[in-house]
């Protein structure tokens, strides 16, 4: 692991991604520093999900250069060539990046506690007792201590998403990716999930958050990136982008979301 704090956590250089003939990302350039919380905004179909899925190699990039913590995503560079990583190497890389999905994707046949413990035990081969302690304290951190034995089917959307966040944190990731974590929730359940995320942001976690929750962006984000049609239209501090946007497209979008 590179401990060099000057290396950005995520660095994207001219990232392109096509599905067949459809070019979805048309040259994305951005950097996320250690401890930075970046929110990614943009209309539906602008490529936000695709971009964060590239970061943990759930999709492969078509062109460009993407590094996480100084390491190329999905490839090894050797004598001027890119060699595809083996499955175990990709898995090892993903294990250090947490991901939270719009639809939670908890494992329905496991209890909340089992969901959280599965990867540290199965992937990292950590001792069960240690993992259990950590899982219980994570459940407490997301306010779900009393539901450790509950199956996801018995939990509300907000509760499921909090367990999903705990599950990702159990792998002690260096980077957390959130893809619209609150947009599948009933309005009254959004707050409890955002609170957990704000708490995480203040603890110094590096986060990329796709969200339309302007409150979250203003309160805890260090930077805001507005994407449209596969390009970054505008990026900067929350005040700069949300309060005083320079581009018409950004203004239109923000006026619609607010």
Partner 1 sequence: MPATARDEHAVAPTPGAHAQPVVKLRHPIRWASYVIIAVLAAMFVNTILTNPNYGWDVVGEYFTSVRILDGLLKTLQLTAIAMVLGIVLGVGLAVMRLSSNPAVSGVSWLYIWFFRGTPIFVQLLFWGYISALYPVISLGIPFGPSFVEFDTNVLITPVMAAILGLGLNEGAYMAEIVRAGILSVDKGQTEAAQALGMKRGRILRQIVLPQAMRVIIPPTGNNTISMLKTTSLVSVLAFPELLYAAQLIYSDNFETIPLLITASIWYIIVTSVLTVGQYYIERHYSRSERLAGPGVLSRIAELQRRRGVTVDTEGEAR
Ligand X SMILES: Nc1ncnc2c1ncn2[C@@H]1O[C@H](COP(=O)(O)OP(=O)(O)O)[C@@H](O)[C@H]1O
Residues that bind partner 1 (CB under 8 A): 56, 58, 87-88, 91-99, 101, 103, 105-111, 113-114, 117-119, 121-124, 128, 132, 151-154, 164, 167-168, 171
> Which distant-in-sequence residues (6+ apart) come within 8 Å of 55 by Cβ?
10, 66, 68, 73, 97, 175, 177, 208
Beta carbon nearer to partner 1, 7 or 95 = 95
Beta carbon nearer to Mg ion, 49 or 111 = 49
Beta carbon nearer to partner 1, 158 or 245 = 158
Q: Is 49 a residue that touches Mg ion (CB under 5 A)?
A: yes
**Taking the complex as a whole, how short is the minimal distance between the CB of residue 188 and partner 1, in angstroms?**
22
Binding residues for ligand X, per CB under 6 A? 19, 22, 24, 42, 44-50
**Taking the complex as a whole, how short is the minimal distance between the CB of residue 182 and ligand X, in angstroms?**
14
**Taking the complex as a whole, how short is the minimal distance between the CB of residue 14 and ligand X, in angstroms?**
18
Beta carbon nearer to partner 1, 106 or 232 = 106
Residue 47 binds which entry of ligand X, Mg ion, partner 1, none, CB below 5-8 Å type-dependent: ligand X
32 exposed, middle or buried (CB, 10 Å; 0-12, 13-18, 19+)?
buried
CA–CA dist 68, 99 (Å, integer): 14
> Measured between alpha carbons, how far is residue 169 from residues 26, 95, 162, 209, 253 in Å?
32, 10, 11, 15, 32
**Taking the complex as a whole, how short is the minimal distance between the CB of residue 183 and ligand X, in angstroms?**
10
Residue 121 binds which entry of Mg ion, ligand X, partner 1, none, CB below 5-8 Å type-dependent: partner 1
Residue 114 binds which entry of ligand X, partner 1, Mg ion, none, CB below 5-8 Å type-dependent: partner 1
Token readout for 202 is: 């203040």
Q: Is 39 a residue that touches Mg ion (CB under 5 A)?
A: no
Listed in sequence order, the DSSP H helices in 1-79 are 48-55
> Which distant-in-sequence residues (6+ apart) come within 8 Å of 254 by Cβ?
214, 242, 245
Beta carbon nearer to partner 1, 18 or 105 = 105
**Taking the complex as a whole, how short is the minimal distance between the CB of residue 222 and ligand X, in angstroms?**
21
Q: Is 182 a residue that touches Mg ion (CB under 5 A)?
A: no
Q: Which residue, among 211, 237, 227, has the nearest Cα to 101 in the 3D structure? A: 211
CA–CA dist 200, 81 (Å, integer): 38
For the chain, where are the E strands, in sequence order? 10-19, 22-32, 37-41, 63-68, 71-72, 75-78, 81-84, 97-100, 175-179, 207-210, 223-228, 231-236
Q: Is 67 a residue that touches Mg ion (CB under 5 A)?
A: no
Q: Residues, the chain, total?
A: 258
**Taking the complex as a whole, how short is the minimal distance between the CB of residue 219 and partner 1, in angstroms?**
26
Which residues are near Mg ion by CB under 5 A?
49
């Amino acid at each position: 692991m590179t401990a060099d704090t000057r290396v950005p956590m995520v660095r994207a250089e001219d990232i392109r991604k096509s599905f067949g003939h459809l070019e979805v990302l048309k040259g994305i350039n951005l950097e996320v520093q250690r401890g930075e919380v970046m929110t990614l905004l943009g209309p539906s179909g602008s490529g936000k999900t695709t971009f964060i899925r590239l970061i943990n190699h759930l999709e492969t990039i078509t062109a460009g250069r993407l590094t996480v913590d100084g390491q190329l995503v999905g490839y090894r560079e050797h004598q001027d060539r890119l060699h595809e990583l083996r499955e175990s190497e990709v898995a090892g890389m993903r294990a250090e990046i947490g991901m939270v999905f719009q639809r939670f994707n908890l494992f329905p046949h496991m209890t909340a506690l089992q969901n959280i413990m599965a990867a540290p035990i199965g992937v990292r081969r950590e001792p069960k007792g240690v993992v259990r302690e950590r899982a219980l304290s994570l459940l407490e951190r997301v306010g779900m201590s009393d539901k450790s034995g509950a199956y996801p089917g018995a939990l509300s959307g907000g509760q499921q998403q909090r367990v999903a966040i705990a599950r990702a944190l159990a792998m002690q990731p260096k980077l957390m990716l959130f893809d619209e974590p609150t947009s599948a929730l009933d309005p009254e359940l959004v707050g409890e999930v955002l609170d957990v995320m704000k708490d995480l942001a203040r603890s110094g976690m590096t986060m990329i958050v796709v969200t339309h929750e302007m409150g979250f962006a203003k309160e805890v984000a260090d930077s805001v990136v507005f994407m449209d049609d596969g390009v970054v239209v505008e990026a900067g501090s929350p005040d700069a982008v949300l309060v005083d946007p320079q581009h018409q497209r950004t203004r239109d979008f923000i006026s619609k979301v607010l």
